Amino acid sequence: MTDSVNRTILLFDIEKYSDRDDVEQAYLRRMLYDITDRALESAGIDENLRLRADRGDSVMELIDANASVHALLRVLLGEVPAELRAVNRMASSSAQIRLRAVVAAGYVAVDGLQGWVGSDLNHACRLLDGDVLRTALRERPDDFALCVSESVYAGVVRHDRPGVPADRFHAVTVPSKNGPLRAWLYGPVPADAREHAGAHEDHSERGAGGAPVPDRGSGERPAPGQAAPTAGGATFTFHGGSPSFGGSLVGGDQHGVSGGTVHGDVHLGGETQ
């Protein structure tokens, strides 16, 4: 097996491929390959910068990490939907092609049977097959639905560069057999997936166990003998003397980094002095 190397991962999948007969499937595969090749060429990604794997109703591309992910996303959000509309406008209902797509990044190796292996690739495939992306495409009047991995969002999308509007991407959590996968869906979140859309809430103002950190802006301090709040929401009240917790003595008022205050001497260990 080769060493794992960092790659951009592009996945396409045809909706309702298995519902078509052999002639229709052959046509859809040709269209899929044409759309993929034109998209990558338009993004400036030459054939020597990518490696393709055929999966029947889907195609997988491993792209050199030095290729522009921003250029790829710009093409996927602009040119590919327009091309699908043009193709489907002239096609019969049985020849309509609608695509799900995932852009991810991570480490992938090639085994002795020329198969691709790597947990990052597995995660990308599960995003592609997840109900969130499938439902998103099914509910939309257009013919394309895109999801990006959390690393692609953090490294590229969130910077809101031209052609890749960050505010059109919404955080989702995709259930999988190995646990929930976090990702970002372009466009509206399906109604039955909205319960997972808050999985990316900011926990920076949370203390241990997810409890809110007390307000640090008021500047108020509890009076001696009153309860002092801690980061976890618990309180301690000390009356008449130095409290002991089983160690050394800490004298004077103590101010915690999370905003709590303890008044009086604290004795950690042994007996109260």
Distance CA(66)–CA(107), nearest Å, equals: 14
* Across 198-206, average pLDDT: 41
* Across 199-225, average pLDDT: 42
Q: Which segment of 18-32, 144-158, 214-228 scores lowest on mean pLDDT? A: 214-228
Looking at the structure, tell me whether residues 141 and 81 fall in a common domain: yes
User: pTM of the entire structure?
Assistant: 0.70
Range of the domain at 86: 5-200
Per-residue CA distances from 122 to 3, 89, 151, 178, 239 (Å): 17, 34, 15, 10, 58
* Across 15-22, average pLDDT: 90
Looking at the structure, tell me whether residues 121 and 194 fall in a common domain: yes
Q: What is the full DSSP assignment across 186-222?
A: ESPPPGGGGGGGGGG---TTB-GGGPBPPPSSS---P
Domain final residue pick, 145, 174, 200:
200
Looking at the structure, tell me whether residues 149 and 259 fall in a common domain: no
* Across 105-119, average pLDDT: 82
Domain count, the chain: 2
Please tell me the total number of residues recorded for the chain in this structure: 273
Q: Which segment of 52-56, 103-107, 184-188 scores lowest on mean pLDDT? A: 52-56
Inter-axis angle of helices 22-42 and 69-89, to 10 degrees? 140
Looking at the structure, tell me whether residues 20 and 43 fall in a common domain: yes
Looking at the structure, tell me whether residues 158 and 273 fall in a common domain: no
Looking at the structure, tell me whether residues 191 and 213 fall in a common domain: no
Which CATH number does the domain housing residue 18 bear?
A: 3.30.70.1230
Looking at residue 116, what is its pLDDT?
78
Looking at the structure, tell me whether residues 130 and 96 fall in a common domain: yes
Looking at residue 65, what is its pLDDT?
93
Looking at the structure, tell me whether residues 155 and 57 fall in a common domain: yes
Domain final residue pick, 153, 179, 200:
200
> Which residues are 229's β-sheet partners?
235
Neighbours of 47 (CB within 10 A): 10
Give the residue carrying structure tokens 């303890």: 262
Using CB atoms within 10 Å of the CB of residue 178, give its burial: 0 to 12 exposed, 13 to 18 middle, 19+ buried.
exposed
Neighbours of 55 (CB within 10 A): 13
Percent of the chain residues past pLDDT 90, beyond the cut: 54
Looking at the structure, tell me whether residues 213 and 266 fall in a common domain: yes
Using CB atoms within 10 Å of the CB of residue 145, give its burial: 0 to 12 exposed, 13 to 18 middle, 19+ buried.
buried
Looking at residue 191, what is its pLDDT?
81
Distance CA(49)–CA(196), nearest Å, equals: 36
**HSE toward the beta carbon, residue 236, CA cutoff 13 A:** 16
Looking at the structure, tell me whether residues 16 and 151 fall in a common domain: yes
Looking at the structure, tell me whether residues 186 and 212 fall in a common domain: no
Looking at the structure, tell me whether residues 15 and 134 fall in a common domain: yes
Q: Which of 195, 135, 192, 155 is CA-nearest to residue 171?
A: 195
Distance CA(2)–CA(107), nearest Å, equals: 11
Looking at residue 224, what is its pLDDT?
47
Domain final residue pick, 157, 178, 200:
200
